[in-house]
């Protein structure tokens, strides 16, 4: 093939980009998608904890999953602070995004109102007789690992993508689902556990 002639073709073509949708229309479309695919409403585990039909071992596994979500997600708030578009505002009072995420991070890590959220998850595990060794050796399910690493990926790309992945797709969906209220009341009524972590999120 030493004498074969190589030919290069230009594969770049003109691409037509559709105009952006109006914001309200776009968000309504996302909300409709979320309503149809909301993982918190589809979860049989959350419903079973709520009505007391979940076996204790399933509840113990669920609280271990929540611990790992908190452990891995909490440090990501710092990326939203660092990437906030108004981090260089004259003062924090002049910012909106930067101030919001600073306050959120302070709250999550126990420096504002609530106890440290990761510590609350450890306390909840201990309420179910899960000691530190069991918690450290636990391997979360693939869905938990995939969910967290998808979030990490988008938080590291841009503020906008981090905000969409964390603020909209995770926190907003979780808040609107009522999962924390269901789990808190179920744990209290059927398993005799008053979980501060679930109370705070409810």
Can you tell me the mean pLDDT for 177-190?
93
> Between the CA of residue 154 and those of 76, 162, 185, what are the distances in Å?
10, 5, 33
Cα 43 from Cα 69, distance rounded (Å): 16
* Cα–Cα–Cα angle for 18, 22, 25, rounded to 5 degrees: 110
Share of the chain above pLDDT 70, in %: 93
Highest mean pLDDT pick, 32-41, 72-81, 107-116, 132-141:
132-141
pLDDT in the model for residue 12: 56
User: Hey, where are the domains in the chain?
Assistant: 46-201
The residue with tokens 């972590």 is: 197
Cβ atoms within 10 Å, residue 53: 12
The architecture of the domain spanning 46-201 is Up-down Bundle (1.20)
- Give per-residue pLDDT as tens, 6-37: 665 655 556 677 788 888 998 888 888 878 87
- Give per-residue pLDDT as tens, 130-165: 999 999 999 999 999 998 999 889 999 999 998 888
The pTM of the full predicted model, rounded to 2 decimals, is 0.82
């Amino acid at each position: 093939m030493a004498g074969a002639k190589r030919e290069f073709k230009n594969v770049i073509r003109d691409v037509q980009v559709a105009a952006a949708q109006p914001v309200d229309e776009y968000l309504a479309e996302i909300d409709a998608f979320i309503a149809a695919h909301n993982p918190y409403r589809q979860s049989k585990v959350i419903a079973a904890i709520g009505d007391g039909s979940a076996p204790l071992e399933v509840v113990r596994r669920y609280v271990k999953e929540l611990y790992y979500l908190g452990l891995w997600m909490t440090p990501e708030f710092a990326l939203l602070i660092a990437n906030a578009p108004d981090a260089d505002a004259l003062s924090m009072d002049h910012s909106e995004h930067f101030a919001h995420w600073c306050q959120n991070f302070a709250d999550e890590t126990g420096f504002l109102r609530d106890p440290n959220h990761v510590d609350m998850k450890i306390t909840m595990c201990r309420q179910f007789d899960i000691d530190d060794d069991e918690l450290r050796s636990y391997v979360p399910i693939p869905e938990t690992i995939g969910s967290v690493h998808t979030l990490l990926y988008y938080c590291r790309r841009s503020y906008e993508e981090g905000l969409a992945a964390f603020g909209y797709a995770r926190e907003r969906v979780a808040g609107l689902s009522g999962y924390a209220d269901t789990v808190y009341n179920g744990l209290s009524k059927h398993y005799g556990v008053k979980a501060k972590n679930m109370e705070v999120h409810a």
